[in-house]
Amino acid sequence: MGKTLLTSLLCIYLTFAFCVIYTDARRSVTKIGRDAVTPGRSNFTYICDPARYAQLGLDIKSFPFCDKTLSYQVRARDLVNQMTLYEKVRQLGNRAYGAPRIGLPEYEWWSEALHGLSNVGPGTFFDDSVAHATSFPTPILTTASFNESLWNTIGKAVSTEARALYNLGHAGLTFWSPTINVARDPRWGRIIETPGEDPFVVGTYAANYVRGLQDVEGTEHYKDLNSRPLKVSACCKHFTAYDVDNWKGVQRYTFDAKVTEQDLAETFNRPFQMCVQNGDVSSVMCSYNRVNGIPACADPILLKQTVREDWNLHGYIVADCLDLDCGVYYTDNVENAVKHGKVREALVDRSLQYLYVVLMRLGIFDGHSQYNSLGINDVCSNEHIELAAEAAREGIVLLKNDNGILPLATGKYPSLAVVGPHANASIAMIGNYAFDPWNKGTPCRYITPLNGFSSYGRVNYAAGCSNVKCPDGSLIGPAVQVATTSDATIIVAGIDLSIEAESRDRLDLLLPGKQTDLIIQVANASKGPVVLVIMSAGGVDISFAKNNPKIHAILWSGYPGEEGGQAIADIIFGKYNPGGRLPVTWYQADYVDKLPITSMQLRPDDSNGYPGRTYKFFDGPTVFPFGYGLSYTKFNYTLKAATNRLPIKLTKFQHCHDLPYKNGTFKPSCPAIAIDDMRCPKNFKLAVEVKNVGNRDGDEVVLVYSQPPFGIVGTHIKNLIAFQKVFVAAGTSETIQFAINACQGLGIVDSSGNALLPSGAHTIIVGDGAIVFPIQLTYR
C-alpha cells in the first residue's frame, strides 16, 4: 500500500479514534503505576504521587494534569498540551513510550482477558514470582450456561486477578477482550472466542462480562459516564462483520465483507451496540477486514458516526492489525505527516485525550485505594478455582441420554475405560487467548478427564489416537481392549486449536481422521454403557453417534477450562445435573457444501441457492438445533399471565412506514412505525411457571422467542428476545416474570436497515413451543 493512501487513511482514522498498533515487544513491562515493584507483594505507586515527582526532581505543581480538583477532560487536555509533537506521536502505538520530561512513564496497552488473564500480549507476563492465573472455560461454553450472573461474576474474578497482577508489576489495566462477533458460519475458526450465533445473546454476554471487568462497586450508575471509575478497561472486538479468518486462500487481512444494511444493523452491529450502551465498555476494536470496500478501521460512518456519536462511546477506539501497517508506522511516521500538513496535530491531540481519560478513570494517575491490598493471594484463589469448575458444569450440554442411562451410579461401575484423543486433555481444555506454551505462565492447575474420572472409579486409559487429527488407526486396538474389560466406557473426542482457531477456519464439520472409526469400534466392543464427550467450539456432525444405539449418551463440553475434567466427570456421575443449552446450531455436514463462508448474507440467497444462516434464517435439518439441551429431570411450563394487546397511540410526528407483504396475506393500514421516531415506553409481560416433575433438582433455561406478523417479506423465522436460568427443586415450581420492551422484543429491521415496529399479530413462543400465544399490536 502506497504512503499516500496510508497517510490518507491515517488522517481519516485520527479524526475519530485513538489508534493502538500492535508491536513486537513481547515483554515490555507496563511501567505506569509501578516504580520499584517488589515481586510477590503489593508495592506500587501512581503517576501523580507527590513523592514520586519529588523523587524525579520535578515540581508536581507545574503539571495541572495532576490536579485532582479538575475534571479528567481538562487534565487530559493539559497533559497532551504539555507534550511536544515528538512526544505525542510516541504514544500512538500499543507501546506508549511516555514522556519523562513531564513525569509520564511508559505504558503497554495490549493485554488479553478473554476467559482469564493470558500471557498473550506484552502487557501481562508471568514468571517464577507470579506463575499462574485462573483459566475459565472459553466463552462459547460459558455462554451455554445462559446465566447472566455467572458471566458477570467471572468478569469480576478476572478483573480482581488483573488488579492483583497490576499491583505486582505483571500487568497493565487495559484488556482487549471480549470477542463479540456473531458466529455466523460453523466453519469460522474463532467461534471458540465468541458467545455464539444469536446477536441478542452475544450482546447480553458482552454487557455482563464487561460490567464484571470494569465496574467499581458503588459506581455502576455514575452520573458522568466519561469520568466513571474503572476497575479495568475492557474492549469489545472486532467491529464489524468479521468472521472469516483463513479459508481456501481468503485471508482476513484482505477480505472484503459484502454485507447488507439489514444484516449490518440486525446481526453484525447489534452486539457492539449493546456492549457500548448496556455495558458502557471503555474501548472498541475495529476489525481487520473491509466492509463493503472500506477498511473497517477507516470508515467514518461506522466509527465516528455509529460508535462515537450514535452509541456515545465513553472511551477509545483501537485498531487491530489490519491492512494498514502492523507495527510502529504511526510512531515512526505521524510526526512527519503533521509537519508536511498531511495530518492536523489537533486530531492527534483529541485522540490522545480519549486515551488518557481512560487511564485516569482506571486510577493510574491518582490511584484506586480500594484495590491496593490485592496481591498474589488473590490469584488462583480457591473461590476462583471453584468458579471455573462451576462455569464448566453450568455450560456443559447433555445432547443424548437414551433410557436415562445417565447419571451413572457411583459404585455401580468400579472400572472405567476412558479413551479418546481428549481423554487426558490439559492444554486443549483452555483453548486460545490463555497460556501460549512459548511464554511463561500456566493455569492454576489442570484437572484432566483422567483426573476427574479417577475420583469415581478405577480408570483404564487408552488414547486411541496420537492426536485429534487421528491420522491412522494404529492406536484403536488398545482402546477397544480396555472397553471390553471395563464396566463403563467414556470416549472423549473432538477437535482442538489445530483444527479451529484464529487464522484457521474449518473446511468441514466432521471429526478429523480416524476418530469416527475409533468411536464406532470402541462402542461396539464395550461391555457396559458408552458415553461420548465432544470437545469443540463449532458444531460437529456426529449424526452417526446420535443414531447409534450402542452410544447411550452424548455430552458437549466445549473447551471447559482448567477444571474441565472434573466438571465432565461430576456431570456423568450425577453430582451435577446438566442444564446447558447450545449457543450455536449444529448443522449436518453437507450444509457447508451449499454455500461458501465468504457469502455474508444471513437470509437465504435464492439466486445462488444458498440456505439461510443461524436458527433465525435456516429451517433445514440439523444435528442439534440452537438452544438444545437435556436434563436428568423433566420440566413442565404453564403460562400464568400474559399481555395479549398492545395499543399504541401515535403523535402527529409519527408516520406510518410501509412494509412488503406476501400476496394474499393481510396488510394493516399502518404496517409499521420507525423505532427511531418512538420513545418505546411500552412493555409486554408474561409469567411462566416452571415445574420440576422429575425426581432430581435441576436448572432450567427458559427461552422466549417472538415471531413477526404473518406475511411480512424477509423477516426472521423466530428471534430470541429473553432468557432466564432458574433452579427448581424436584417436585416444586418457580414462576419467572418477564417484562420485555415492545421495540426490542417485537421490532424488525427492513431491507434498508431501518428498525421498525410492525403492527399486527405477533407470536410469542416459550421454549420449543411449550407455550405459544399472540400479542396484537395496533396503532391508533
| Residues with active-site annotation | 320
496: nearest Cα among 446, 540, 551: 540
The helix (H) or strand (E) run that includes residue 272 is helix 270-277
Instruction: Compute φ and ψ for 518, nearest 5 degrees.
Output: -60, -50
Whole-number Å distance between alpha carbons of 313 and 274: 11
Whole-number Å distance between alpha carbons of 110 and 134: 19
Beta strands 397-401 and 635-642 are unpaired
Tell me the CA distances in angstroms from 346 to 7, 467, 525, one per residue in order.
16, 55, 73
Strand partners of residue 535: 494
Cell of 150: 455467572
Instruction: Compute φ and ψ for 303, nearest 5 degrees.
Output: -90, -50
Judge residue 658's burial from the number of C-beta atoms within 10 Å of its C-beta, 0-12 exposed, 13-18 middle, 19 or more buried: exposed
Only one residue has cell 424436584, namely 730
The Cβ of residue 201 has, within 10 Å, a number of other Cβ atoms equal to: 22
Tell me the CA distances in angstroms from 428 to 148, 434, 499, 512, one per residue in order.
26, 10, 11, 15
Q: Is the dihedral of CA 190, 195, 198, 204 positive or negative?
A: negative
Ordered DSSP codes for 553-567: EEEE--S--TTHHHH
Sheet of strand 771-779: strand arrangement: 645-648, 771-779, 760-766, 698-707, 719-728
What does the DSSP 8-state code read for residue 607? T
Tell me the CA distances in angstroms from 74 to 66, 80, 88, 146, 332, one per residue in order.
10, 10, 17, 42, 28
491: nearest Cα among 562, 430, 447, 542: 542
Whole-number Å distance between alpha carbons of 69 and 86: 29
Tell me the CA distances in angstroms from 280 to 207, 212, 277, 316, 734, one per residue in order.
8, 11, 5, 12, 32
Tell me the CA distances in angstroms from 258 to 196, 293, 595, one per residue in order.
21, 8, 15
Q: Is 398 left (phi over 0), alpha (psi -120 to 50) or beta?
A: beta
Whole-number Å distance between alpha carbons of 238 and 321: 11
Whole-number Å distance between alpha carbons of 211 and 481: 51
Angle between helices 270-277 and 199-214 (to 10 degrees): 30
Instruction: Compute φ and ψ for 278, nearest 5 degrees.
Output: -90, -35
